[in-house]
Structure 1
Amino acid sequence: MSHVDLAFTQEQLELRRTVRDFLDKTSPETEVRRLMETPAGYDPAAWHQLAAEIGVAGLALPEEYGGAGYGFAELAIVLEEAGRALLCAPVLSTVVLAASTLLALDDDLARADYLPGIADGTTVAALALTEAGGPQDEPDALAVTAARHARGWTVSGTKPSVLDGQTASLLLVAARSGAGLSVFAVAGDAPGVRREPRATLDQTRRQADLVFEAAPARLLGEEGAAWPALRHVLDLAAVAIALEQVGGAGRVLDMAVDYARTRVQFGKPIGSFQAIKHKLADLHLAVESARSAAYYGGWAAAASPPELPLAASLAKASAGDAYVTAATENIQIHGGIGFTWEHPAHLYLKRAHSSRQLFGNPAYHRQRLAGHLLAAHD
């Protein structure tokens, strides 16, 4: 294992302060609730500010494509802050999944065509990868197919639960062709594309079922050679969600601690009761352990790709359980008020449960982690 340095530089700390200040102003609870009721699920003007003016969308993109030339370590900070604020914006879909796919595929022309739009916030992109059954460790299991015609490629089939699939102008679709698994670019408004918004438990993150009926497509990279790139993107996705999760878990832990300090029963703050003290101590340990695992995943994504598969599964398993536990206990500590629609606790609980399932639940990632560890000892 390589040397792991999880300390942040002064520049990275300043990035965190900048992003947190921006999200405190633009993503308060009232705005999150408003956006939950809108068709798009996010504010395009606020997204453009975050993406272009603060530079979040191009943070980890090379300068030649309009990015800032930083890496996943800086993006990790943004993801944690986004999770803390329950940010309603296409960060995960566009900045992590789609941009990482374009970078991982061997297609310089596609990068030049698509990445500048992502970097300046004008392109919202989505990756249509997984199908029924969750993470695809067997690429042959994908049912969406691609066919070559005289005028080019088309894709056909259904991709369920695509993050921001209902608003993305660029769809990156994983499909099987005669040579194997490939990735295709499809315009969101192309003929043969039907988008069906999906009702979800977590209203702060939009998903849609995408139906392709011989939709015109552009092959990205080499035909049949996409699986190594997509497997890498799935690992990045697991790390990204874990970072979001520890941001949210830290926020609900802070909510619980603040309430325990101020809520008085029997003439004392409830935080002085031993049962509450023990509960909060256990939560603090769980959240900080998960944060360490998520930071390790972020470090591996930035500095040590060989360790990324193991680090990604460790991070996703740890953070998924910690967030659900913290969000649940936060409601318990708040008592009756924590169960009401007016209190933000339920928003975090729903995000915790939904993100726990995205790109593999903790059981899946523990099994995968065990496989990596056994292989390392052989």
Structure 2
Amino acid sequence: MTTSPRTTAGPLSADAGLLYSDVEDDLRRELRALLTDRCPSADLPARVETGQAHDVGLWTALAGELGVAGLPVPMETGGAGAGWRETAVVLEELGRAAAPVPYLTSSVLATAALLAAGDDRLLPGTAAGDRIAALALPFSSPPDLPFPDTVAHAGGGLTGTVTSVAGALSADLLLVPASGDDGPGLYAVDTAAAGDTVRRTARCSLDLTRPLADVVLHAAPATALVTGDEADRVLRRALITGAALLASEQLGVAQWCLSTTVAYVQERHQFARPVGSFQAVKHRLADLWALVMQARAVARHAAEALDTGTTDLRLEAALAKAFVSEVVVEAAETALQLHGGIGFTWEHPVHLYLKRAKSSALALGTADRHRAALARLVDLPAAEN
């Protein structure tokens, strides 16, 4: 895949990055065709009962057939040489399908950390999808998180516990923030080579399509990627990238909720009329459509900011995550309610989208946490009690 270069840094124009390019439209069509065939929403309730950490066949198709696992990775490092905008399109479609694959955790969070660290040893395998990576942090961690100290580095090994790690059950590679005599550091742990020194225990998570796990390390062999202040910078960059692009996945979830609900209220009848013909339903869906369109603009702006290297990246990420988190929950709740009785059954997938919406709103910092960060970034004085 090739794209036009986007290397100009600086403030974004009002309409920059909001429109999809021809390459992005082609990518969306290929993804939607694949997901419609391999991951229809009607099959999701059965999929989440299989006990698998992720859909192995779907991941192989995404990484092998479409080659989207390493979109932002340079071609010389085994990637596609595209950008975060194209990655955002993938996340939109995966969100639309609520796809049970470790794309956000491996191809976004972990890949962003490896790119920021300047790694050229682990990136090729991750970019090809042959190796699944995960950033060993609680999934709720916001970008302004102080450097974690729950894992210690001593004698070349890591010891400690990290709770609620997204993608840990699928990971062949864990990127673990740890503190030691040399200060903070980001370390790589090969889970296969580590053997019994790494133990992963599944947690009961709200989102059944994205399982969480507690990771316990006991003198696990590890390789340092970056240490000192650079480790804090790399970790923060990965979390900012994750928060900015999670908004695109949330946008996909919201789009599915809106389009599926619109289709359903046109088919469902009460009093010999389609439910969608009632004014109250029309108004509610019209309001939701306006919110989803606003969410698209905000999410696209954040993805463009990642590619252009704007100095306001933290602000763009906080704005996107704060706004879209509330839109996606509103969309999922509306979908559940307007589907009526069928929406409350286990057999219908809408409850899985509601759980994805709720869990993603808590992931990588809540809307309130990001609004507080926004206030600090624009020097807005704190409210007086």
Shorter-chain TM-score tier:
over 0.9
Alpha-carbon distance between aligned partners in 2 of 1:318 and 1:359, rounded to the nearest angstrom: 14
Q: Does 1:185 align with 2:195?
A: no
| Coordinate RMSD, CA, aligned | 1.8
- Per mean C-alpha deviation after superposition, the further-off stretch among 303-312 and 220-229 is 220-229
Higher relative contact order (CA 8 A, sep 6+): 2
Alpha-carbon distance between aligned partners in 2 of 1:179 and 1:288, rounded to the nearest angstrom: 48
**Which 5+ residue runs of structure 2 have no aligned equivalent?**
1-10
Q: Is the 8 A contact 1:263 1:270 kept in 2?
A: yes
Aligned to 1:144: 151
Question: What does 1:106-185 align with in structure 2 at a 5 Å threshold?
Answer: 106=118, 111-130=119-138, 134-135=141-142, 137-147=144-154, 149=155, 153-185=156-188
**Which 5+ residue runs of structure 1 have no aligned equivalent?**
none
Aligned to 2:58: 46
Q: Is the 8 A contact 2:143 2:365 kept in 1?
A: no
Deviation sequence 1:141-173 (CA, Å, 0-9, x none) = 5321112x2xxx111111111111012110000
Alpha-carbon distance between aligned partners in 2 of 1:268 and 1:33, rounded to the nearest angstrom: 30
Alpha-carbon distance between aligned partners in 2 of 1:65 and 1:178, rounded to the nearest angstrom: 32
Aligned to 1:198: 203
Q: Is the 8 A contact 1:176 1:182 kept in 2?
A: yes
1:336 to 334, 341, 344: 341
Aligned to 2:4: none
Q: Does 1:235 align with 2:240?
A: yes
Q: Is the 8 A contact 2:12 2:310 kept in 1?
A: no
**2:379 partner SS:** helix
**2:99 partner SS:** coil
What is the CA-CA distance between 1:375 and the residue it aligns to? 7.1
What is the CA-CA distance between 1:266 and the residue it aligns to? 1.4
Runs of 4+ that moved beyond 3 A: none
**2:312 partner SS:** helix
Alpha-carbon distance between aligned partners in 2 of 1:30 and 1:250, rounded to the nearest angstrom: 16
What is the CA-CA distance between 1:286 and the residue it aligns to? 1.4
**Percent identity at matched positions?**
43
Aligned to 2:357: 352
**2:120 partner SS:** helix
**2:372 partner SS:** helix
Q: Is the 8 A contact 2:246 2:321 kept in 1?
A: yes
What is the CA-CA distance between 1:226 and the residue it aligns to? 0.7
What is the CA-CA distance between 1:35 and the residue it aligns to? 3.0
Aligned to 1:16: 28
Letter of the 1:259 partner, please give it. Answer: Y
Q: Does 1:91 align with 2:103?
A: yes
Deviation sequence 1:301-350 (CA, Å, 0-9, x none) = 11134121011111111111111111111111111111111111111101
Distance 1:58 1:318, change over 3 A: same
Distance 1:269 1:27, change over 3 A: same
Alpha-carbon distance between aligned partners in 1 of 2:371 and 2:19, rounded to the nearest angstrom: 26
What is the CA-CA distance between 1:138 and the residue it aligns to? 4.8
Letter of the 1:171 partner, please give it. Answer: L
TM-score with structure 1 length normalisation? Answer: 0.93
Distance 1:171 1:212, change over 3 A: same
Question: What does 1:272-287 align with in structure 2 at a 5 Å threshold?
Answer: 272-287=277-292
Alpha-carbon distance between aligned partners in 2 of 1:343 and 1:39, rounded to the nearest angstrom: 19
What is the CA-CA distance between 1:285 and the residue it aligns to? 1.4
Question: What does 1:59-74 align with in structure 2 at a 5 Å threshold?
Answer: 59-74=71-86
Q: Does 1:102 align with 2:114?
A: yes
